[in-house]
């Protein structure tokens, strides 16, 4: 790069300007999550600053954005004594604890009216203290034992979301900001993916990854880790005053360029605290970071001061913990289940354990690779993870607790359901019995009847097993010949429930083409591929006639999936079942019609995050078909936000503005009301 600079003064002027611009864009990108320039433009500004600084090294300052890449490794961390102790939080584990907390506060404040609380998610990261003097970042420390912690200034400097200078100019001359450094879930997943590709050890969870990253003596390593922060309070405040409410203090921190959690909400009284808790339990799985509870703080600082603190925790705050998502139990046995496509899945049978709010006695072990990766044996103590609504899994083995009589897990060499030979496909064992295998047949029927497929209400797991075992149903087409009498004499069935089932089977005859295709259970054809296939071919026979090459012209269909589809329709048995279904009046139509007028006419919707039942474009087209205008950005005028998984800043903005948030599941339910077949 030619510098094209005539004097050091001119260089200095440009450097100052560039630093301001880069800090502004850092703030937009890392704090607000709303960049306003393309990455390439940011890179250009940064490269220009680097070039000027290397030509004029005496102009480099500590708070230059170029100084975030990490410096020479330290021998050890220094100690920092906290001028004001860094408190931890007392815990509440249930509604009763929470009510006790509220009652004590009312007693201590001698109040009968409802208390105002600030509610915040409790982040599972590392508590840090950031010291700013004259608006400049001076020093950072960990909490340590609350009285003294470690000096992690070098490492904190590498976190782009932490401003090296505060914006605006009404900050106290000396200000200690406190917050939680954490690793967002997506960054954690990427970090582990990279570690896996290099054959390195994986981090157990985002908290450990964040802690490990901050504990590096070599800050160049920290600089490469995807860390960020939410600030949740202040310590020292000198040479300036802060507002009288916790929520207002956080708003000030935001104004000064520090990152604060957008989920913060001020509520009055215990019932509203409980409502916030329930709302966050629902939202938890969709947040882009892990939380382990909710923190409630008395909002008025004067009241906080009256309440004071005991030993290491304030009396004015409490952390209501979510039920533990991890628990230790024993692996009692491993059994092998046969899936719809014949894949053999090892399932862990566990000593029942309470985790994530439910008792868990089974967990998936996925495949042979997973068993090797975990190095797991029968009798081992294992950590069970149940996050959100996901299926419980064995996250790790506590090898130090392995008993002497632990047994190795032996894989079967024949199908446990039909005794057919197994074939090996990379890390998966597969039964070669096809629909001769009763287990595969059962799974195929369960899938066909499931909610997102033909949606046959009442045709659950137990019923399918009985129907197959009693040879009333061999293929999905047989479902449409069942009589009330046949069903009524099954276990746990009566005349009425049998009638209901037959009616539900009847109703399912008229369905949509995407559902019909999905219901067939073709390997690797999920809902969105089924939708793409339906949109492309418009007719089942057209799809059946398509060659593997032609199939690959459909969105998202690559050679592997095309191969599966082709193979499925080549099989005589499958063609027969499809023809039998059609002969019994089962019909999948392409265009759903909307009841009456367009239900979303006059509304403006925004789409964000990843949707599972459709692509973004399909979602947009559907919203438009329902009458909505689809916009790219949220404003107070937005009618609703359709939020998929990993929704980020738009979700935060929508909740801040009180815009209605519709999850994909909600949306599916709404459509079922609007759409007739």
CB of 280 to ligand 9MJ, least distance (A): 12
- x-or-dash string of contact with ligand 9MJ, 156-185, rule CB under 6 A: ------------------------x-----
CB of 317 to ligand 9MJ, least distance (A): 5
Strand partners, 320: 92, 294
Q: Judge whether 393 counts as a catalytic residue.
A: no
* Eight-class DSSP state of 31: I
User: Residue 200 corresponds to which tokens in the numbers above?
Assistant: 């390195």
Strand intervals (E) in 221-339 = 228-238, 265-268, 291-298, 309-310, 313-314, 317-321, 326-338
What 3-state DSSP class applies to 308?
Answer: coil
Strand partners, 384: 327, 394
Helix or strand (DSSP H, E) at 630? strand 629-631
CB of 619 to ligand 9MJ, least distance (A): 33
CB of 83 to ligand 9MJ, least distance (A): 16
Displacement of CA 72 from its chain's centroid (Å):
36
What 3-state DSSP class applies to 635?
Answer: coil
Core vs surface per residue 500-532: b (16+ CB within 10 A) or e = bbbebbeebeebbbbbbbbbbbbeebebbbbbb
Nearest CB to ligand 9MJ, comparing residues 53 and 180 = 180
Nearest CB to ligand 9MJ, comparing residues 87 and 415 = 87
CB of 123 to ligand 9MJ, least distance (A): 4
Strand partners, 214: none
CB of 89 to ligand 9MJ, least distance (A): 5
Q: Does 232 bind ligand 9MJ (CB under 6 A)?
A: yes
- Of residues 89, 128, 140, 334, which one binds ligand 9MJ by CB under 6 A? 89
Q: End-to-end alpha-carbon separation of the chain, Å? A: 63
Q: Which of 75, 104, 122, 620 is catalytic?
A: 122
- x-or-dash string of contact with ligand 9MJ, 124-163, rule CB under 6 A: ----------------------------------------
8 Å CB contact between 537 and 517: no
Nearest CB to ligand 9MJ, comparing residues 229 and 355 = 229
CB of 173 to ligand 9MJ, least distance (A): 23
What number of chain residues touch ligand 9MJ (CB under 6 A)? 10
Question: Judged by CB under 6 A, which stretch of 117-125, 193-201, 409-417, 617-625 contacts ligand 9MJ?
Answer: 117-125
- Number of helices (H), then strands (E), belonging to the chain: the values are 24, 28
Q: Does 123 bind ligand 9MJ (CB under 6 A)?
A: yes
Q: Does 317 bind ligand 9MJ (CB under 6 A)?
A: yes
Helices (H), 68-129: 95-108
Question: Judged by CB under 6 A, which stretch of 116-124, 152-160, 451-459, 537-545 contacts ligand 9MJ?
Answer: 116-124
Nearest CB to ligand 9MJ, comparing residues 301 and 504 = 301
Strand intervals (E) in 22-173 = 79-81, 91-92, 116-123, 126-133, 136-142, 148-150
* Eight-class DSSP state of 149: E
**Rg of the chain over CA atoms, in angstroms?**
30
Report 284-303 residues binding ligand 9MJ (CB under 6 A): 295
- Of residues 21, 30, 77, 120, which one binds ligand 9MJ by CB under 6 A? 120
- Of residues 15, 52, 87, 378, which one binds ligand 9MJ by CB under 6 A? 87
Question: Judged by CB under 6 A, which stretch of 22-30, 120-128, 413-421, 641-649 contacts ligand 9MJ?
Answer: 120-128
CB of 231 to ligand 9MJ, least distance (A): 9
Q: Does 246 bind ligand 9MJ (CB under 6 A)?
A: no
User: Residue 556 corresponds to which tokens in the numbers above?
Assistant: 């998202």
Nearest CB to ligand 9MJ, comparing residues 86 and 517 = 86
Report 519-578 residues binding ligand 9MJ (CB under 6 A): none
Question: Judged by CB under 6 A, which stretch of 115-123, 357-365, 368-376, 594-602 contacts ligand 9MJ?
Answer: 115-123
CB of 310 to ligand 9MJ, least distance (A): 13
- Alpha-carbon distances of 572 from 548, 568, 575, 577, 578, rounded to whole Å: 17, 9, 5, 9, 10
Q: Which of 366, 521, 349 is nearest to 428 (CA)?
A: 366
CB of 563 to ligand 9MJ, least distance (A): 49
Sign of CA dihedral 544, 545, 549, 553: negative
- Of residues 65, 149, 233, 619, which one binds ligand 9MJ by CB under 6 A? 233
User: Residue 326 corresponds to which tokens in the numbers above?
Assistant: 């991890």
Q: Does 316 bind ligand 9MJ (CB under 6 A)?
A: no
**Which is it for strands 675-676 and 593-594: parallel, antiparallel or unpaired?**
antiparallel
Nearest CB to ligand 9MJ, comparing residues 261 and 429 = 261
Q: Does 263 bind ligand 9MJ (CB under 6 A)?
A: no
Nearest CB to ligand 9MJ, comparing residues 231 and 473 = 231
Residue 579: count of CB within 10 angstroms of its CB: 13
Q: What is d(CA 463, CA 319) in angstroms, rounded to the nearest whole number? A: 45
8 Å CB contact between 529 and 557: yes
Residues assigned a catalytic role: 122
* Residues in touch with ligand 9MJ (CB under 6 A): 87, 89, 120, 122-123, 180, 232-233, 295, 317
């Amino acid at each position: 790069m030619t510098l094209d600079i005539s004097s050091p003064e001119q260089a200095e002027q440009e450097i100052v300007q560039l630093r301001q611009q880069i800090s502004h864009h850092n703030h937009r990108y890392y704090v607000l999550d709303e960049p306003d320039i393309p990455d390439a433009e940011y890179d250009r500004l940064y490269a220009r600053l680097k070039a000027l600084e290397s030509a004029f090294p005496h102009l480099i300052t500590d708070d230059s954005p170029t100084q975030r890449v990490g410096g020479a490794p330290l021998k050890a961390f220094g100690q920092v004594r906290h001028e004001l102790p860094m408190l931890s939080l007392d815990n509440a584990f249930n509604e009763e604890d929470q009510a006790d907390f509220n009652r004590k506060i009312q007693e201590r404040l001698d109040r009968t009216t409802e208390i105002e609380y600030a509610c915040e998610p409790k982040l599972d990261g590392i508590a840090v203290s950031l010291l700013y003097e004259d608006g400049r970042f001076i020093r950072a420390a960990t909490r340590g034992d609350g009285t003294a912690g470690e000096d992690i200034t070098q490492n904190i400097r590498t976190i782009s979301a932490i401003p090296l200078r505060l914006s605006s100019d009404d900050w106290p001359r000396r200000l200690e900001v406190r917050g939680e450094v954490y690793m967002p879930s997506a960054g954690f997943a990427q970090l582990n993916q990279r570690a896996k590709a290099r054959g390195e050890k994986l981090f157990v969870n985002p908290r450990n990854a964040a802690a490990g990253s901050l504990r590096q003596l070599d800050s160049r390593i920290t600089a490469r880790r995807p860390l960020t922060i939410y600030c949740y309070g202040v310590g020292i405040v000198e040479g300036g005053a802060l507002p009288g409410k916790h929520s207002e203090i956080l708003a000030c921190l935001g104004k000064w360029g520090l990152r604060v959690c957008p989920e913060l909400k001020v509520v009055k009284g215990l019932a509203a605290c409980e409502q916030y808790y329930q709302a966050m339990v629902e939202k938890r799985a969709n947040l882009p970071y892990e939380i382990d509870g909710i923190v409630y703080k008395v909002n008025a600082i004067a009241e906080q001061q009256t309440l004071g603190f005991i030993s290491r925790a304030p009396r004015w705050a409490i952390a209501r913990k979510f039920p533990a998502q991890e628990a230790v139990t024993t692996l009692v046995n491993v059994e092998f289940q046969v899936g719809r496509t014949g894949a053999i899945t090892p399932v862990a049978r566990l000593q029942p354990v309470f985790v994530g709010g439910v008792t868990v006695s089974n967990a998936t072990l996925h495949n042979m690779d997973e068993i090797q990766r975990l190095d797991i044996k029968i009798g081992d103590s294992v950590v069970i993870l149940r996050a959100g609504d996901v299926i419980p899994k064995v996250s790790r083995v506590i090898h130090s607790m392995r008993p002497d009589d632990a047994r190795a897990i032996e894989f079967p060499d024949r199908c446990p359901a039909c005794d057919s030979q197994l074939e090996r496909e990379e890390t998966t064992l597969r039964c070669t019995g096809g629909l001769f295998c009763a287990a595969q047949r059962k799974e195929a029927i369960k899938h066909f009847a499931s909610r997102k497929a033909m949606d046959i209400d009442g045709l659950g797991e137990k019923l399918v097993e009985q129907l197959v075992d009693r040879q009333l149903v061999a293929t999905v087409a047989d479902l449409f010949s069942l009589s009330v009498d046949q069903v009524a004499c099954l276990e746990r069935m009566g005349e009425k429930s049998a009638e209901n089932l037959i009616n539900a089977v009847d109703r399912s005859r008229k369905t949509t083409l995407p559902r019909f295709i999905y219901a067939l259970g073709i390997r690797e054809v999920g809902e969105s591929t089924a939708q793409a296939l339906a949109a492309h071919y418009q007719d089942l026979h057209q799809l059946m006639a398509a060659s593997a090459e032609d199939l690959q012209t459909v969105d998202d269909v690559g050679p592997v999936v095309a191969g599966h589809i082709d193979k499925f329709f080549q099989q005589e048995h499958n063609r027969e079942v499809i023809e039998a279904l059609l002969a019994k009046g089962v019909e999948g139509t392409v265009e759903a019609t909307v009841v009456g007028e367009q239900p979303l006419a006059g509304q403006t919707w925004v789409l964000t995050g990843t949707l599972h039942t459709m692509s973004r474009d399909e979602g947009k087209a559907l919203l438009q078909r329902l009458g909505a205008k689809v916009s790219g950005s949220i404003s107070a005028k937005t009618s609703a936000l359709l939020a998929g998984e990993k929704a980020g800043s738009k979700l935060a903005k929508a909740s801040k503005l009180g815009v209605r948030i519709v999850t994909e599941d909600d949306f599916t339910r709404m459509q079922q009301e609007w759409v007739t077949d």
